[in-house]
Structure 1
Amino acid sequence: MEIINFILGLLHDPRGAIAGWIVTLGAVWVYTPLFLIVFIETGLVFFPFLPGDSLLFAAGVFSADGGGLNLGATLLVFYAAAILGNTSNYWIARFFGARIIDSGKIKALTPERMAKLDHFFEKYGGLTIVITRFMPFFRTFAPFIAGTGHMNFGKFTLFNCIGGISWVSLFVLVGFFFGGVPFVQEHFEIIVLGIVAVSVAPAFIGAVKAAISSRKSGKRDFEVEAAVDAERIARAKHARSEEEAR
């Protein structure tokens, strides 16, 4: 229960969480929970719900002058966490992926999400690792799918580094440069929720499109089956008519 409350608190107010860590852990050890949260979100397929985007943004805010964090250290810690997390995820999947999927314990790894990722890999190849960095849930599952599919590790590492550095840089630097704006300070929680909403939007839109497409496909299949049945009945009636005529 404490873990759930911790995650909910982090989702609602990452700024308050970081401020508390700075006070209790000090200027050096505060980077430990920052590293662990991003590493766990990207490295363990069981924790796709951790708030990576909003945490990066909030850490960027605290990296501005007088915030308690150092921008260079913040970026390096998050780069390491994001890249090492994905690498860990890849190798876990490489050796245990099939067993984990068959166990059915990863409720968030739905058949729809797996199909979406398969489509991404077919369409974009290794760029999927970069693209999904900006999509919650999918960024946790993409390296896992890459591992189960035995994607070349050198190729994976290249796109992993590009994606990790791009993702971290974007959110941390946006927080760094715009976190001090009065409007942002006054509406911080709303902006964090907006970041989460924008991040989740592509996955939500994709799910809606997939559902609509599936429904249309099911309707077409029903119509085809109905047409086939009607044709079969018509042929049977015609055959009986010919027999009666004879």
Structure 2
Amino acid sequence: MFEEILTRISELSPIWIYLVIFFFAFIENLFPPSPSDMVVVIGGSLVGASVLHFVPVLIFATGGSLVGFLTAFAIGWQIDKRILHSGKIKFLTIESIEKVENAFRKYGYFLIIANRFLPGTRAVISFFAGMSRLNVHFTVLLSAASALIWNSILISLGMVFGENIQKVDAFLNTYNQIVIVATVVFILFLIIRYFIKKNKNKFQN
């Protein structure tokens, strides 16, 4: 399967391959899940085959990731302003929204740094970063750094494994499953702790 994809992609003009890499890196932030990581790995394998060059692949992959992140960031910013704080959504109180935003303002920059390493949550993190009005300049810097490091790793894996990128695909699938399970467990822990603390305060009052 991957051999066929590699053959077909390598037949394209390099500029089209770069644009495909940019597109998948971009769209992942808006319509997950997307095979963007594997597309970047394939780009890396084409670098190893001298079809593409490392720096342009890195620039297009990182550029797509950054533009996609900032698009979701802008959507979160506007939705928070026009909808969430307007009181139009009855089941969401302004108080609960502000609690989420305050928590994200406290830990959001750390999440942005880890953003590219957290599959399944990338679109959520960028959206909440915008909703929480995080500093745009820091957001751009940190999201670009995160994408740059992650994409460098993916391209390098593609270069090392060449056409045998099924091993990379298997590794990424395992990695994604572990991260998703760990994220779910962590969220459940926070929810349980919240209700325990809430009930404790109720009994004390």
Q: Indicate whether the TM-score tops 0.5.
A: yes
Deviation at 1:91, TM superposition (A): 1.4
Q: Which one of 18, 28, 34 corresponds to residue 31 of structure 1? A: 18
What's the counterpart of residue 136 of structure 1?
A: 119
- Identity across the alignment (%): 19
Deviation at 1:87, TM superposition (A): 1.6
What's the counterpart of residue 75 of structure 2?
A: 92
* Paired residue secondary structure (2:133): coil
The answer as to 2:169 corresponding to 1:192 is yes
Paired residue type of 2:36: G
Q: Which one of 10, 25, 30 corresponds to residue 22 of structure 1? A: 10
Structure 1 residue ranges without an equivalent (≥5): 1-12, 105-114, 229-246
Distance in 2 (alpha carbons) for counterparts of 1:57 and 1:194: 12
Task: Flag the structure with more relative contact order, 1 or 2, with Cα contacts below 8 A and sequence separation at least 6.
Answer: 2
Q: Which one of 52, 65, 69 corresponds to residue 49 of structure 2? A: 65
Any conservation in 1 of the 2:76–2:127 contact (CA below 8 Å)?
yes
1:54-203 correspondence to structure 2 within 5 Å: 54-66=38-50, 68-97=51-80, 122-123=106-107, 125-176=108-159, 178-180=160-162, 185=164, 188-203=165-180
Distance in 1 (alpha carbons) for counterparts of 2:52 and 2:131: 38
Any conservation in 2 of the 1:135–1:200 contact (CA below 8 Å)?
no
The answer as to 2:30 corresponding to 1:53 is no
* Distance 1:211-1:143 versus aligned 2 partners, 3 A rule: closer
Aligned length: 193
* Distance 1:156-1:216 versus aligned 2 partners, 3 A rule: closer
Any conservation in 2 of the 1:97–1:144 contact (CA below 8 Å)?
no
Any conservation in 2 of the 1:97–1:148 contact (CA below 8 Å)?
yes
Any conservation in 2 of the 1:134–1:167 contact (CA below 8 Å)?
yes
Distance in 1 (alpha carbons) for counterparts of 2:188 and 2:56: 43
* Distance 1:15-1:98 versus aligned 2 partners, 3 A rule: farther
Any conservation in 2 of the 1:60–1:71 contact (CA below 8 Å)?
yes
Distance in 2 (alpha carbons) for counterparts of 1:194 and 1:103: 44
Paired residue type of 2:20: P
Structure 2 residue ranges without an equivalent (≥5): 90-99
What's the counterpart of residue 207 of structure 1?
A: 184
